Amino acid sequence: MARIVVIGAGLGAMAAAARLAVAGHRVTVYERGATYGGAVGRFERDGFAFDTGPGLLHLPAVYRDLFVKTGKEPLEECVTLTQVDPAARHVFADGTRVDLPNASRAGTVAALDAALGAGAGERWGDFLVRAREAWDRTRRPLLEEPQPTDPAPLAREPYPALKPGLLRRPTTTLAQVGVRELRDPQLAALLDAYAWAYGFDPATAPASAAVLPYMEQTFGSWYVGGGLRALADAVYERCRKRRVEFVFDTPVEGVLEKDGRAVGVRLAGGDTVEADHVVSGAPLPALDRDRVVEWGPGDDRPRHQALGTGRVTVCLALRGAREPEAVHRTVVHAAGERPTVTVLRPDDPALRPDADHESVTVTATVPTSGEGEQEWEAFAGRMVEAAGRAVPGLRERLLWQHVRTPEDVRRDTGAAEVPGPALAGAGGRLLPADNRSPLPGLWFAGGWSHPGGGLAHAGMSGALVAGFIVEGADFRGSQ
């Protein structure tokens, strides 16, 4: 049995902790904050509750696998999963609306034809066929296997873009895919919205980002009863059942090194904890910025995705019942100064004080720099104005609102940015750090490592790092 210290209690870190504990190792998690879950947080007030991180789950099979391999109770006995249908309602700048069904290619084609005109659905369907090729080429190396020693092949663009005209440059970005292949401003806006939802600017995101709509429209969107925070609760309880120890309000200030190997951590206040291995689920930018890991001048620092974007979240407490025809998720596309926003309206009694009130969450992707408190408040006002196109009578129903900015995310998690999913192409710029760090004995897990980003991907990262340690390490820890 080895002694293992885990830095941080995000979803990926807890997934690694649970798997390592099942393998018989003594695992202790040190978390800088007062609770677990990382970016999967919750805000509560006056009987209202809101997810402050992701609101929907994609690829639930990742967490089904985690629960199967760490205990007797399957995921569905620990949380309630419901498919969201329609998967999303899109409201375009000119007022056109289209409801896209959950995980139905034929239904999506028919809905787009009906809303945008004959041929729109066929063009979107043909695009998804090409997106599937990119998915098939990258799924295993990006999501299921350790990062290859030579990641150069993953730096090449896997999306089979249609050949451009003789006088055109090759298609390299998702925005170019929208313009050249979808040939409709609203279809292009639909595609762009998937990029923005994951923190990517479609003008710079590689064409391989086409896998994002493919993934959602193929595997579906799921809601966890009680909100995504309930999933974090379930993973935490699974860790506790496997006798993982948690120490909260205890920042790790440094990784101890001896003879070129990680041998423990130094806690705030100066106490040290010995360990045979250290697993860090903390954001890589924070590890470097706060000098938790001391990289020498010749050391190869692990790369991380620097998207430069975060999220503003506005929690809205509304009087009045949710109307029967309301949908769970509405994407309101940008119009003038109004940004593109995602409006989540879960029909969940656990998130509201009673049936005569409603909890609504509005999110938008923003640059992480350049805004002050007054600017964020003004931006939040434009977000609420946009959300009014999805929620009838929103202003009249509004009791109060609570705004969370990238700075709030930085305070809670250590990084203002939200890491995007790993993508091939872009010269390798969007490939996250390998789970194996340059310092033996130190491993990376969570959203900033392979295959980082996204809620499901963080769980995959925990599985990978646990597999590395259990199968590939020489354990001579205390018994």
As a whole number of angstroms, the distance between CA 345 and CA 72 comes to 33
Nearest to 465 by CA among 20, 139, 3, 10: 20
Q: What is the pLDDT of residues 249-271, one digit of tens each?
A: 999 999 999 999 999 999 999 99
pLDDT surpasses 70 at 128: yes
Give the per-residue SS3 of the chain.
CCEEEEECCEHHHHHHHHHHHHCCCEEEEECCCCCCECCCCEEEECCEEEECCCCCECCCHHHHHHHHHHCCCCHHHHCCEEECCCCEEEECCCCCEEEECCCCHHHHHHHHHHHHCCCHHHHHHHHHHHHHHHHHHHHHHHHHCCCCCCCHHHHCCCCCCCCCCCCCCCCCEHHHHHHHHHCCHHHHHHHHHHHHHCCCCCCCCEHHHHHHHHHHHHHCCEEECCCCHHHHHHHHHHHHHCCCEEECCCCEEEEEEECCEEEEEEECCCCEEECCEEEECCCHHHHHHCCCCCCCCCCCCCCCCCCCEEEEEEEEEEECCCCCCCCCEEEECCECCECCEEEECCCCHHHCCCCCEEEEEEEEEEECCCCCHHHHHHHHHHHHHHHCCCCCCHHHHEEEEEEECHHHHHHHHCCCCCCCCCCCCHHHCCCCECCECCCCCEEECCCCECCCCCHHHHHHHHHHHHHHHHHHCCCCCCC
Task: Provide CB contacts within 8 A for 462, sequence distance 6+.
Answer: 11, 12, 13, 14, 15, 16, 17, 18, 19, 66, 281, 445, 446
As a whole number of angstroms, the distance between CA 2 and CA 20 comes to 10
pLDDT value, residue 308: 87
Q: Using 50, 70 and 90 to split pLDDT, how confident is the model at 89?
A: very high
CA distances from 383 to 72, 358, 378, 397 (A): 44, 18, 9, 16
Nearest to 253 by CA among 299, 297, 287: 287
As a whole number of angstroms, the distance between CA 41 and CA 50 comes to 8
Give me the sign of the Cα torsion angle 247, 253, 258, 262: positive
Q: What is the pLDDT of residues 296-352, one digit of tens each?
A: 776 677 777 678 899 999 999 999 999 999 999 999 999 988 899 999 999 999 999
pLDDT value, residue 9: 96
Q: What mean pLDDT, rounded, does the chain reach? A: 92
Tokens read off for 42: 């919750």
As a whole number of angstroms, the distance between CA 237 and CA 433 comes to 28
**Interhelix angle for 211-219 vs 105-116, to 10°?**
110
pLDDT value, residue 476: 30
pLDDT value, residue 165: 76
Q: What is the pLDDT of residues 440-455, one digit of tens each?
A: 999 999 888 888 777 7
Q: What is the pairing mode between strands 26-30 and 245-247?
A: parallel
Q: What is the pLDDT of residues 168-197, one digit of tens each?
A: 788 999 999 999 999 999 999 999 999 999
CB distance 402 to 43 below 8 Å: yes
The whole-model pTM stands at: 0.93
What is the mean predicted confidence (pLDDT) over 7-17? 95
What is the mean predicted confidence (pLDDT) over 264-284? 95
Range with the lowest mean pLDDT among 75-79, 86-90, 369-373? 369-373
pLDDT surpasses 90 at 223: yes
pLDDT value, residue 471: 62
pLDDT surpasses 90 at 148: no
Nearest to 226 by CA among 42, 354, 37: 42
Residue 311, beta-bridge partner list:
365
Range with the lowest mean pLDDT among 46-50, 321-325, 416-420? 416-420
Q: What is the pLDDT of residues 374-395, one digit of tens each?
A: 789 999 999 999 999 999 999 9
Residue 89, beta-bridge partner list:
99, 330
